[in-house]
């Protein structure tokens, strides 16, 4: 006989889901105030004079998980922008201070002399050589013999460069010949470790130098390597610290009005949610794929005089030699430079938050600046998204933890931003900031209804009750609208279904750990950390990725939580099926607990790859046996305790 359950947990969960849903309402607004793109506003050649200077920042912090060859492909793609080279400067910040990355950048500065004219001549897409040579085969005769010849020649050059860099990376040592040839390597003479070294700075290409030209004699963009000073006694503030050093150093060298950073692509967030927030004052700054005016990052308030006449501001003359300039710029990246200054607080990217980008963007918008969303057909930025489940979960833990910290910080979108930005944008920020605590509602829905189903306790209204309708409406409405959003963002139904899986996994593991860590930090336990997203995968991991197999492989605590939830739902479903077979009529069960049956069934379906990993797979990507044992034992225990208590 079924019993009525206590609705307070359900009510809190609904409230929590409702608050996130309300927060996501800005996406319904029809944004896109800014539709212009270089291709629509005429050729860049015509508008050359009015183009602002642009400084592009590329960050790296570990040559093992961000391999130098990958880093320089990003650099080369930015160098090959269809943009006046004398107005473009590319900066590579290397927080590992690795001579291997420097060596790769040196190689890139030489390869760029051939790559940039090749890109311009044949309008190459994409302009990252690594991506281009993987996705493009030699042009057929339609391109003409010269194109085929040039393609094969540049590909050969690229492969040779790739070989040299990969060999050096594998050996962990720079070829002696290269070391002797370039004075830049002498800066590593005093290097002790990645956490203890002087500032290393080298202008590898100076666009003002008439000798810095490509093979066609055209100017090349400026290219700079920077490893800011690191000392064990000075906290380095992760990416925010690196970015602030770059902002200061670049202001000395090229003083580009705008900055951008490369990487990353998030389908629904960028295509749907940012499109919506654009109508409420502009999308969030998510650290990548954005351009900024330099003064917005330097803490300036917006006022009527903030409008820039780009032509006037373009005049960046320089008296010093490159060596003098390097020496002067080095002091700006020293550990002590920021002492007793507003850097990291009122100036530059903010410190102390694992999502330095979002908190900085919020404070910029609170100072009256607006951002604009531009999503041209030809993507301005393409990046690398994590390809394995552990990478996704670690990345989302950092993001959701950082966003939750912002909610509780002095810059909270809930109170600090009130009156400073539009209500729609405030809600938009809150939606992301509530990701982490929302795990509690998701956990409730993943555990309690299934356990109650096992015990015959009805939580939701019966099919015959008029209250059934709002629940059914919300559930179906939510899923249909998310499917439509996904398809609108060029996704597929299968992609959407996989997204639902990842949605559940993130919420029940990353967000749970993020919530716990945030609360512990608030209570004074633990420090802020920045777990860098791994950008490489072993060969067999990549093979499984190609076969669309989910990667587990490690006994991480997040996997224990996910597996326990999956096993618990499986046990509950098996228990119900057993009950139906033994004595109950399915029709009666369905009449009284349809939503619980549906929920438990869907959870089991969603968790299918987990059951495969826990029970069926034999490859190295399977779940470790210890996780299978732990999760099954805990799930059984919870079912037993619940049955005993009720
Ligand atoms: O001490 C550090 C730590 C990280 N980084 C660099 O920061 C970048 C972003 O780190 P990553 O681990 O790749 O983070 P993602 O989650 O992939 O990046 C997104 O989320 C971050 C905020 O969490 C933003 O800073 C990024 O711009 C945005 O792309 C990488 O290039 C790192 O090399 C540093 O330069 N120094």
Q: What is the pLDDT of residues 94-139, one digit of tens each?
A: 999 999 999 999 999 999 999 999 999 999 989 999 999 988 887 7
The closest of 322, 53, 76 to 208, measured between CA atoms, is: 322
**Model pLDDT for residues 483-498, shown as the tens digit of each residue:** 998 888 788 898 899 8
Q: Which residue CA neighbors atom 5 of ligand 1 most closely? A: 239
* Average of per-residue pLDDT across 555-573: 96
Task: Assess contact for 337 and 331: CB atoms under 8 A.
Answer: yes
Interval between CA 284 and ligand 1 midpoint (Å): 16
Q: Quote the pLDDT of residue 264.
A: 36
**Model pLDDT for residues 406-448, shown as the tens digit of each residue:** 999 999 999 999 999 999 999 999 999 999 999 999 999 999 9
* Chain centroid offset of residue 462 CA: 43
Asked if residue 137 and residue 52 are part of one domain, the reply reads yes
CA distance 621 to 549: 8
Residue 318: pLDDT band (50, 70, 90) is confident
Residue 644: pLDDT band (50, 70, 90) is confident
Asked if residue 35 and residue 18 are part of one domain, the reply reads no
pLDDT(272) > 80:
no
Question: For residue 543, is it within any domain?
Answer: no
Q: Quote the pLDDT of residue 274.
A: 79
Asked if residue 343 and residue 440 are part of one domain, the reply reads no
Q: Is the CB of 398 under 6 A from ligand 1?
A: yes
**Model pLDDT for residues 148-192, shown as the tens digit of each residue:** 899 999 999 999 999 999 999 999 999 999 999 999 999 999 989
Residue 25: pLDDT band (50, 70, 90) is low
Asked if residue 191 and residue 114 are part of one domain, the reply reads yes
Residues labelled catalytic: 95, 357
Mutate-to-test residue for ligand 1 from 335, 532, 534, 535, highest number of ligand atoms within 8 A of CB = 532
Interval between CA 356 and ligand 1 midpoint (Å): 9
pLDDT(34) > 60:
no
Q: Quote the pLDDT of residue 40.
A: 40
Cα angle at 144 between 138 and 145, to 5 degrees? 75
Task: Assess contact for 85 and 48: CB atoms under 8 A.
Answer: no
**Model pLDDT for residues 241-260, shown as the tens digit of each residue:** 999 999 999 999 998 766 66
CA distance 394 to 391: 5
Residue carrying the six token digits 């531009």: 374
* pLDDT > 90 fraction of the chain, expressed in percent and rounded: 60
**Model pLDDT for residues 339-358, shown as the tens digit of each residue:** 999 999 999 999 999 999 99
The closest of 600, 597, 595 to 565, measured between CA atoms, is: 600
Mean residue pLDDT of the chain comes to: 87
Asked if residue 20 and residue 94 are part of one domain, the reply reads no
List CB contacts of 389: < 8 A, sequence separation 6 or more. Answer: 502, 505, 550, 551, 552
pLDDT(45) > 80:
no
Residue 308: pLDDT band (50, 70, 90) is confident
Could you give the number of structural domains in the chain? 2
Residue 374: pLDDT band (50, 70, 90) is confident
Q: Which residue CA neighbors atom 25 of ligand 1 most closely? A: 287
Asked if residue 9 and residue 46 are part of one domain, the reply reads no
Q: Quote the pLDDT of residue 468.
A: 84
Residue 31: pLDDT band (50, 70, 90) is low
Q: What are the backbone angles phi and psi of residue 121, rounded to the nearest 5°?
A: -65, -45
Greater pLDDT, 264 or 13 = 13
Q: Is the CB of 102 under 6 A from ligand 1?
A: no
Residue 635: pLDDT band (50, 70, 90) is very high
Q: Quote the pLDDT of residue 646.
A: 65
Residue where a domain terminates, one of 385, 412, 429: 385
Asked if residue 436 and residue 346 are part of one domain, the reply reads no
Question: For residue 540, is it within any domain?
Answer: no
- Residue 484 structural domain: 3-27+420-523+554-645
Interval between CA 108 and ligand 1 midpoint (Å): 22
- Length, in residues, of the chain: 646
Which range is least confidently modeled, 379-388, 441-450, 511-520? 379-388
* Average of per-residue pLDDT across 524-530: 80
Question: For residue 357, is it within any domain?
Answer: yes
Question: For residue 531, is it within any domain?
Answer: no
Enter the tokens of residue 377: 């057909």
Mutate-to-test residue for ligand 1 from 239, 262, 352, 533, highest number of ligand atoms within 8 A of CB = 239
Asked if residue 198 and residue 83 are part of one domain, the reply reads yes
Q: Which residue CA neighbors atom 23 of ligand 1 most closely? A: 355
Interval between CA 583 and ligand 1 midpoint (Å): 57
**Which of 101-110, 275-284, 289-298, 568-577 is the most confident on average?**
101-110
Q: Quote the pLDDT of residue 385.
A: 81
Judged by phi (left if over 0) then psi (alpha if -120 to 50, else beta), residue 227 lies in beta
Asked if residue 268 and residue 142 are part of one domain, the reply reads yes
Which range is least confidently modeled, 35-44, 208-217, 457-466? 35-44
Asked if residue 371 and residue 499 are part of one domain, the reply reads no
Q: Quote the pLDDT of residue 265.
A: 40
The closest of 506, 24, 477 to 275, measured between CA atoms, is: 24
Q: Is the CB of 57 under 6 A from ligand 1?
A: no
Greater pLDDT, 623 or 579 = 623
Q: Quote the pLDDT of residue 531.
A: 83
Question: For residue 539, is it within any domain?
Answer: no
Asked if residue 477 and residue 334 are part of one domain, the reply reads no
């Amino acid at each position: 006989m079924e019993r009525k359950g206590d609705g307070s947990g359900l009510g809190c969960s609904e409230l929590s889901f409702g608050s996130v849903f309300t927060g996501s309402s800005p996406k319904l607004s029809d944004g896109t105030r800014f539709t212009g793109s270089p291709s629509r506003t005429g050729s860049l050649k015509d508008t050359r004079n009015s183009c602002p200077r642009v400084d592009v920042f590329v960050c790296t912090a570990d040559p093992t998980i961000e391999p130098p060859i990958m880093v320089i492909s990003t650099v080369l793609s930015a160098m090959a922008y269809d943009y006046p080279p004398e107005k473009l400067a590319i900066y590579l910040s290397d927080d590992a201070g690795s001579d291997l990355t420097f060596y790769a950048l040196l190689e890139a500065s030489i390869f760029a002399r051939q790559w940039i004219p090749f890109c311009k001549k044949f309008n190459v897409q994409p302009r990252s050589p690594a991506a281009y040579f993987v996705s493009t085969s030699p042009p057929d005769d339609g391109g003409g013999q010269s194109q085929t010849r040039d393609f094969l020649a540049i590909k050969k050059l690229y492969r040779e460069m790739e070989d040299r860099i990969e060999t050096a990376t594998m050996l962990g040592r720079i070829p002696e010949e290269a070391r002797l040839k370039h004075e830049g390597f002498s800066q590593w003479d005093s290097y002790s470790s990645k956490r203890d070294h002087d500032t290393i700075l080298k202008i590898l290409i100076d666009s003002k130098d008439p000798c810095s030209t490509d093979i066609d004699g055209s100017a090349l963009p400026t290219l700079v390597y920077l490893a800011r000073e690191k000392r064990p006694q000075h906290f380095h503030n992760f990416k925010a610290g690196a970015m602030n050093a770059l902002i200061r150093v670049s202001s000395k060298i090229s003083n580009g009005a705008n900055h951008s950073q490369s990487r990353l692509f998030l389908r629904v967030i960028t295509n749907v949610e940012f499109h919506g927030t654009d109508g409420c004052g502009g999308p969030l700054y998510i650290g990548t794929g954005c351009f900024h005016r330099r003064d917005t990052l330097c803490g300036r308030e917006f006022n009527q005089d903030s409008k820039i006449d780009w032509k006037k501001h373009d005049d960046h003359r320089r008296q010093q030699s490159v060596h003098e300039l390097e020496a002067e710029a080095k002091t700006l990246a020293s550990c002590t430079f920021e002492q007793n200054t507003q850097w990291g607080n009122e100036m530059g990217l903010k410190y102390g938050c694992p999502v330095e980008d979002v908190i900085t963007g919020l404070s910029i918008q609170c100072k009256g600046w607006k951002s604009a969303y531009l999503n041209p057909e030809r993507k301005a930025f393409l990046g690398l998204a994590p390809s394995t489940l552990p990478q996704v979960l670690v990345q989302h833990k950092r993001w959701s933890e950082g966003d939750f910290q912002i909610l509780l910080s002095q810059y909270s979108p809930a109170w600090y931003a009130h009156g400073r930005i539009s209500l729609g944008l405030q809600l938009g920020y809150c939606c992301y900031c509530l990701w982490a605590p929302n795990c509690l509602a998701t956990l409730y829905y993943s555990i309690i209804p299934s356990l109650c189903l096992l015990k015959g306790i009805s939580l939701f209204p019966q099919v015959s009750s008029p209250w059934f309708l709002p629940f059914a409406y919300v559930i179906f409405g939510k899923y249909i609208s998310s499917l439509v959003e996904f398809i609108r963002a060029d996704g597929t139904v299968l992609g959407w279904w996989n997204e639902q899986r990842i949605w559940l996994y993130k919420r029940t593991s990353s967000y749970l750990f993020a919530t716990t860590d945030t609360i512990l930090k608030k209570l004074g336990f633990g420090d802020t950390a920045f777990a860098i997203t791994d950008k490489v995968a072993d060969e067999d991991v990549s093979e499984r990725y190609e076969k669309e197999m989910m990667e587990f492989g490690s006994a991480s605590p997040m996997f224990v939580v996910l597996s326990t939830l999956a096993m618990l739902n499986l046990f509950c479903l098996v228990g119900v099926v057993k009950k139906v077979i033994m004595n109950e009529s399915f029709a009666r069960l369905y009449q009284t607990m349809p939503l619980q049956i549906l929920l438990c069934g869907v959870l089991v379906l969603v968790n299918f790859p987990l059951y495969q990993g826990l029970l069926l797979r034999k490859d190295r990507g399977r779940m470790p046996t210890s996780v299978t044992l732990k999760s099954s034992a805990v799930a059984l225990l919870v079912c037993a305790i619940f049955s005993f208590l009720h």
